[in-house]
Amino acid sequence: MRAVWLVRSHQLLSRMRFWTATVGYDPRDRSLSHRIYLIYVIIFFSLWGFVMLALIADQVAGILSRFKGFSPIQAAIILTTIILLAEVLLRSYRYARRSPFIFSEEDAALICQTPVDRRQVALAWLFGDWIPAGLPYWAGAITLSFTCQQMAAPAGMIWADLPIYLLTGLRAVTIVLPLHLALMTSTYGFGALRLRGEKDLTYLRIVPIGIGACLLLLAKFVPTSLDILLWPVQYPLEAGFGTTIWMAGFVLAVFLATLSLLVLYLVSLKLNLSRASQESNFRSEFQQAGLVGGET
């Protein structure tokens, strides 16, 4: 287990080197002045991110206003639900064709060919991919909460309302964070299900297409049943945007995330890492061939 997380942590640290080098921070420098500089960088980019999201909120207000017959909060919930479901279906279809667990040649030699716990591999790769994949959603949740706050205030955004904006953004993020984890984990469980054993379950590709078609038909002809079906996703979002009790929505989102993690843990017990490694190598060679072809 320690070997799996050690390899994964080295991967994540190598990814972070680009961003630390961009801001001029050296993690190996333990001096006091360098740590003070790190605090300065965090504060600076936090304020910069807040200002940028507040500016983007003005543009997002035009998008929410296109949802006729809905309040800004209702429009934000609908838009977030559509984006989350679209990502789940697209990821599920993609993972029904190739492995969600991507390994380099070094990883394949250290992990895929050794008797490590497959469940630990699945969880380690999930959490390593979840944070970068979730950043756009967390930023989007903050932006939508800012937008709803601006559209509800006649005078628009003023600096005196800064604590209110921070609280509304934090409330939305604390809901979207576990909810996105639950949905992304379900797609990894779907991919792990395909990689059990030696057989390739090609019929799994039909599942996300069928679910998407059913959702569109329900939205067109029976919208009330669609609301009932999507209640586990919409209710936490309603809590995140302040229309229901935050604690109830947060508990439901955490429960969904825990349930998805449990399913992934059970499904990945017989995960075939050799197949995942072969698909990773094929993908890498295909990308390299595309780069070579583009240069000629």
Query: Using an 8 Å Cβ cutoff, are 271 and 120 in contact?
Result: no
Distance CA 219, CA 105 (A): 45
Please name which of 229, 242, 247, 245 lies closest in space to residue 74, comparing C-alpha atoms.
242
- Residue ranges per structural domain of the chain: 30-285
Distance CA 147, CA 141 (A): 10
Q: Copy the structure tokens of residue 83.
A: 């984006």
Helix runs in the chain, H state only: 2-22, 32-64, 72-95, 105-107, 118-152, 162-194, 206-221, 223-229, 231-240, 246-267, 273-295
SS (H, E, C) 78-134: HHHHHHHHHHHHHHHHHHCCCCCCCCCHHHHHHHHCCCCCHHHHHHHHHHHHHHHHH
pLDDT at 293 (0 to 100): 46
Q: For residue 89, give every residue at least 6 positions away whose Cβ sits within 8 Å of its Cβ, in sequence order, or none.
A: 208, 211, 212
Q: Copy the structure tokens of residue 67.
A: 């949802």
What is the pTM (predicted TM-score) of this model?
A: 0.83
Please state, as a whole number, how many other Cβ atoms lie within 10 Å of the Cβ of residue 217: 11
pLDDT at 137 (0 to 100): 92
pLDDT at 157 (0 to 100): 60
Please state, as a whole number, how many other Cβ atoms lie within 10 Å of the Cβ of residue 288: 10
Question: 271 by DSSP, 3-state: which?
Answer: strand
**Identity of the residue numbered 102:** I
Note down pLDDT in tens along the chain; length 296 residues: 566 766 666 666 666 666 666 666 666 666 777 677 778 777 777 777 777 877 787 788 888 888 888 898 999 999 999 999 999 999 999 998 888 888 777 776 677 667 778 888 889 889 888 988 998 999 899 899 988 888 877 665 666 667 888 889 899 999 999 999 999 999 999 999 988 877 777 788 899 999 999 999 999 899 889 989 999 999 999 999 999 999 999 999 999 999 999 999 999 988 888 888 887 765 544 444 443 444 44
Longest CA–CA span in the chain (Å) reads 64
pLDDT at 25 (0 to 100): 66
Q: Copy the structure tokens of residue 135.
A: 């950043």
Distance CA 264, CA 73 (A): 33
